[in-house]
Structure 1
Amino acid sequence: MLGYEAMMPSGIAWLGEDEWSMTLAISDINYVAAAEDQQTSIVDRWARFINSYGAGTRLQETIMNRVLDDADVSQLVQKPLRGDQFDFYRSDFNRIVRDKLAAASGNTVTEKYLTVTVQEPDLEKAEATLTRIFHEAEAGLQAMDGCKVRRLNRAERLEGFSHILRPHELFVFNEDEFEPNRKLSTADFVAPWEIDAKDKNGPLIFRNGSGDTYHTVLWMRDYPVWLSDRLISELTEIKCDLTISLHLEPLEQVEGMTLVQRQIAELEMQKITEQKRATKQGIDPEMIPAAVKDNLKEAQDLRDELRSSNQKLFSTVMVLGVSATSREKLEQNVKRVMTVIRKQSCTAEVATYMQLDGLTTELPIGRRRIPMRRTLTTAGAAIIVPFTTQELFVPGGNWYGVNAQSSNALVADRTSTTNGNGFILGTSGSGKSQSGKMEITNVLLSRPDDDIIVIDPEHEYEPLIEAFGGEVIRIHAGSEQRVNPMDIELNVTTSEDDPINAKCEFVLTMLEALVGGKAGLTPEQRSVADRSTLTLYRKYAAEGGAMPTLVELREALAQSGEDAGRELARMLEIYTIGSLGGFSNRTNVNPRNRLVSWDISKLGNELRTFGMMVILDQIWNRVARNRAEGRRTWLYIDEFHLLFSNKYSADYFRGLYKRARKWGLIPTGITQNIEELLANQDARLMLANCDFLLLLGQNATDADSLCELLHFSDEQRRFFTNVQPGHGLMRSGNAVIPMDGRIPTDSALYKLFSTSFGEK
């Protein structure tokens, strides 16, 4: 019944005689939400892909729709209570997730597989052939919007069988335990305890320890001449356990043409027979059944199409397996499936007397046990495109809400993409701050080994920071909180250079910003400043004691005995013992707290560049220290566009986004001023090259600019224009998902996040 004789650890299955198969998991792409020309391109590429396979190779497309229990999904997303002071917020978060899923979610997981069957005399040759085919498929499908291809090993293939045959059982196959103890076969881990197949029309009843599963196999009897590309997508929108398997066996063009010519000859003979019968009855010979004429015309058109193109003929069979926990639910699910099939002008039937053979044909193993076949051209086979609505559910990731199209949970892991760099963009009131704070909360409650840093120019993160025991550092001239710009980490490498040399270079840059003016420091001033700074740090490294400060640097410059040094000392007076001396003392805050917010809301223009330099230096020291300790750092920069009005900050963040991945840093820029951000070429490059993007409500002009830069379709554009707060479009890696990130206004987290006037 399972359709294979043996399965190797590599995932290659021996089907008997000279047939071998492997299964590839293929990621979904957002075909439904793509523009029409992009959909055409996807179908064309898929046609070329399946057309590349020749006779002797069979393909099986399998789309597996599984419904997860609300409790199961909630369990995967929710935060376990830890018995600490934050359990109040974990409980509130868990309530939000439960209510959101219960209200809307379909909780369906759709998995797509491609099983390839080849004919080879032995395992060694089969392994070589299938490996080559895998690499070709990987390259060919990557061109379709970055579709990912992964080859399944034995455990992964068996787990797919288990989802169909033991849907509510825990999959227990373990490769390490199986190999040493071969008392069982692989089939024992996936086959039902018993299959009741007494009824010729089904359903099959899979009896397992957790209860019975009722399963009916349908087969697609006929397709219309003009088949729609919506067949698979509408079937997968049904909330039920459903497996769709389409088998494709390519015929060589000569063989295909011979088959068509034979069909035409048979239809012409049938036409002649009907004409003779009409003549005998005194009827016009042309008055023959329309079906005969239509079939002959269709066959002749097919012959002409094969002659004028490189299309092939495919011998195909499609089966659909529908499951439920009771007969009543199964009948309802079958009716819903048949309704969709009829809506697409197709015809399906129950596989009478062939339920077991239909089940084998359904399983992603590459066997076609039912004898019925339907011939399709490459174009006809390709239009049954397996791609539908993209989902994103990465276990262990952060919760962002639900998919606005399917209402399934939306969970992404920025640590698993090529780079974690990101942006959250939206007009005022679109929910961007709430989205950023929700992600911060996710990290705080789920990733105890990660640190979070926030740059807050609008003084709006303090409630969140204080609620989670973080440190708010207010940076401005009159602040009692002090940060020493001369702080150095001697035991942490912040660059490829020696820590002291790297810090001396930073001090020179800082002095340029403070007192250099438009012309910058003179060579003499740079020389004496570098020498004085180097002396201070070498003394500190050798003797220890208190960290050097700007006051001590000014004193060293004054005592250098050089005019350039004394001049620099006079220029630094206002920043050390004068009215702008807020950065002249030793640090009296805790920048090493797990959660730190740098509040720059009162940082005036006079000290803005210098203050940002100090903050960014502190942040990079923290990132370098965390990297050495194996800790990840999340950095959130609100009102990101403001930083690009300052050349130093702009240059710094351009470099930071390039270096972030190697240093375990995940930076996120948050802004409502999209136009100003897009006007900066560096910011545009950063935006185009980040792997995470939240586009919340945008005005029409900004939406057009973003679509042009990021290549979003008109269909995708509508998800971030004229939408409610909390709605938008999320891109994570290659996945582009419409999102609904709203949370209830009566929740504790909403009150903590809200910046709306009157809601505090």
Structure 2
Amino acid sequence: NDRIIVVDPMGEYAPLVRRLGGQVIEIAPDSPHHISPLDLQMNINDEDSPLSMKADFLLSLCELIVGGKEGLQPIEKTVIDRCVRLVYREMALGLETAKTPLLQDLYEELLRQPEPEARRVATALELYCTGSLNLFNHPTNVDLNSRVVCIVLKGLGENLRKIAMHTTNEFVTAAVNANHAEGVATWCYFDEFHILLRDPLTASYFVAVWKMLRKKGCVPSALTQNVKDLLASREIENILDNTDFMVLLSQAQSDRAILAKQLGISEHQLSYITHSNSGEGLLFYGNVTIPFVDRFPRGEIYDLLTTRPEDLAHERTDE
């Protein structure tokens, strides 16, 4: 009954998820798939009010969009909070005619406010509502309740990538909360984790995932090939401190030195991740370290998962 969510910046998991009958959501300017950042479930029994949580999320989304060193000013925060409550008013009252608002509804509500600060925020939002980056100004049109969901984030520019990541994080949190309310665990896989940690807002979100969402039946896993980039993040120590299980495969010499210092790996243990073959490495579980060999069998699942150029070239010649 568990649910699985894969956040996939390179689109490598999509073939497997489709084969499993799951939902692949491609977030890209030319994609027909849409997730609205204003989706809200009012009926979740949680200690926090869903509307307050959504207001908090939309504040940080506006902060991301408005940008600048100072971020949002107090008056701007107050105006945004007021407008969020206005656009959700009918939903909060439980009216049958209530519709889930879109980003444009928030934009239009901001334009109605008398404060000049409201116009400043609205002008920044315009690009993402009626402008060329209106990717998130559409109703959600994909099945977010599928048991296996893969969110693909490739083909995004810097501005859109940050907003896409922030919206994806909000979706993951909402899904974990909804599943927890039903007594269901959620397995979350974050691939290319070093990319996801580049942005301070996203990095701090993952610290919260590893600390807080685990209490709600979330099993988070991060995957990366770039150890240097990963360990350069200020937040990674908090994440590693809250990680019980690790798999290390063959590492470059400079990465081995960093890992030995960070994880306290002995010279003998390091030999298992030095020039080792595919599927060989070290397993860390609590205070136990075990070398392993895993020969993944060739077959349908292997073909769906492989990203090795020689395998892909071989597939093309078979066709």
d(CA) in 2 for partners of 1:687 and 1:568? Answer: 37
Say whether the 8 Å CA contact 2:210–2:242 is kept in structure 1.
no
Q: Give matches, 1:86-125, under 5 Å.
A: none
Aligned twin of 2:83: 532
Say whether the 8 Å CA contact 1:677–1:684 is kept in structure 2.
no
Aligned twin of 1:755: 307
CA deviations 1:563-608 (Å, max 9, x no partner) are: 2223322221111011000101111111221111110011211211
Q: Could you tell me which of 151, 168, 176 is aligned with 1:615?
A: 168
Aligned twin of 1:477: 29
d(CA) in 1 for partners of 2:233 and 2:167? Answer: 24
Say whether the 8 Å CA contact 2:23–2:144 is kept in structure 1.
yes
Say whether the 8 Å CA contact 1:688–1:709 is kept in structure 2.
no
Q: Could you tell me which of 43, 51, 54 is aligned with 1:503?
A: 54
d(CA) in 2 for partners of 1:671 and 1:742? Answer: 20
Counterpart of 1:723 in 2: which secondary structure? coil
Say whether the 8 Å CA contact 1:476–1:600 is kept in structure 2.
yes
Counterpart of 1:671 in 2: which secondary structure? coil
TM-score by length of 2: 0.93
- Residue 645 (structure 1) shift: 1.1
Q: Give matches, 1:659-678, under 5 Å.
A: 659-678=212-231
Aligned twin of 1:743: 296
Counterpart of 2:69 in 1: which secondary structure? coil
CA deviations 1:252-296 (Å, max 9, x no partner) are: xxxxxxxxxxxxxxxxxxxxxxxxxxxxxxxxxxxxxxxxxxxxx
- Residue 723 (structure 1) shift: 0.6
d(CA) in 1 for partners of 2:233 and 2:84? Answer: 35
CA deviations 1:14-44 (Å, max 9, x no partner) are: xxxxxxxxxxxxxxxxxxxxxxxxxxxxxxx
Aligned twin of 1:714: 267
- Residue 492 (structure 1) shift: 1.8
- Is structure 2 residue 193 aligned with structure 1 residue 640? yes
Say whether the 8 Å CA contact 2:214–2:220 is kept in structure 1.
no
Q: Could you tell me which of 600, 624, 628 is aligned with 2:177?
A: 624
- Residue 695 (structure 1) shift: 0.4
- Once superposed, what is the RMSD of the aligned Cα atoms? 1.5
Q: Give matches, 1:339-350, under 5 Å.
A: none
Say whether the 8 Å CA contact 2:38–2:101 is kept in structure 1.
yes
d(CA) in 2 for partners of 1:479 and 1:609? Answer: 17
Say whether the 8 Å CA contact 1:557–1:568 is kept in structure 2.
yes
Unmatched segments (≥5 aa) in structure 2:
313-319
d(CA) in 1 for partners of 2:244 and 2:83? Answer: 43
Aligned twin of 1:453: 5
d(CA) in 2 for partners of 1:566 and 1:661? Answer: 40
d(CA) in 1 for partners of 2:92 and 2:242? Answer: 40
Partner AA of 1:753 in structure 2: L
Say whether the 8 Å CA contact 1:696–1:726 is kept in structure 2.
yes
Aligned twin of 2:315: none
Say whether the 8 Å CA contact 1:487–1:547 is kept in structure 2.
yes
- Is structure 2 residue 22 aligned with structure 1 residue 466? no
- Residue 558 (structure 1) shift: 1.2
- Residue 621 (structure 1) shift: 0.1
Aligned twin of 1:541: 92
Aligned twin of 2:249: 696
Q: Give matches, 1:300-699, under 5 Å.
A: 449-493=1-45, 496-542=47-93, 543-544=95-96, 545-699=98-252
CA deviations 1:124-154 (Å, max 9, x no partner) are: xxxxxxxxxxxxxxxxxxxxxxxxxxxxxxx
Partner AA of 1:661 in structure 2: R
Identical-residue share of aligned pairs (%): 37
d(CA) in 1 for partners of 2:307 and 2:142? Answer: 26
CA deviations 1:213-262 (Å, max 9, x no partner) are: xxxxxxxxxxxxxxxxxxxxxxxxxxxxxxxxxxxxxxxxxxxxxxxxxx
Partner AA of 1:513 in structure 2: L
- Residue 686 (structure 1) shift: 1.7
Counterpart of 2:56 in 1: which secondary structure? helix
Counterpart of 2:154 in 1: which secondary structure? coil
Say whether the 8 Å CA contact 2:211–2:242 is kept in structure 1.
no
CA deviations 1:655-689 (Å, max 9, x no partner) are: 11111321101111100100111222321332244
- Residue 493 (structure 1) shift: 4.9
Give the number of aligned pairs.
310
Bigger relative contact order (CA 8 A; separation at least 6): 2
Counterpart of 1:744 in 2: which secondary structure? coil
d(CA) in 2 for partners of 1:616 and 1:689? Answer: 19
Partner AA of 1:518 in structure 2: K
Partner AA of 2:38 in structure 1: M
d(CA) in 2 for partners of 1:740 and 1:493? Answer: 45
> Which is richer in helix?
2
- Which of these two proteins has the greater Rg computed from alpha carbons? 1
Aligned twin of 1:726: 279
Counterpart of 1:719 in 2: which secondary structure? helix
Aligned twin of 2:317: none
Say whether the 8 Å CA contact 1:476–1:604 is kept in structure 2.
no
User: Closer, same or farther in 2 for the Cα pair 1:711/1:492, shift >3 Å?
Assistant: same
d(CA) in 1 for partners of 2:265 and 2:120? Answer: 56
Q: Give matches, 1:25-174, under 5 Å.
A: none
Partner AA of 2:81 in structure 1: D
d(CA) in 2 for partners of 1:480 and 1:558? Answer: 29
- Residue 629 (structure 1) shift: 0.4
Say whether the 8 Å CA contact 2:283–2:292 is kept in structure 1.
yes
> Which is richer in strand?
1
Partner AA of 1:474 in structure 2: E
Unmatched segments (≥5 aa) in structure 1:
1-448
Counterpart of 1:681 in 2: which secondary structure? coil
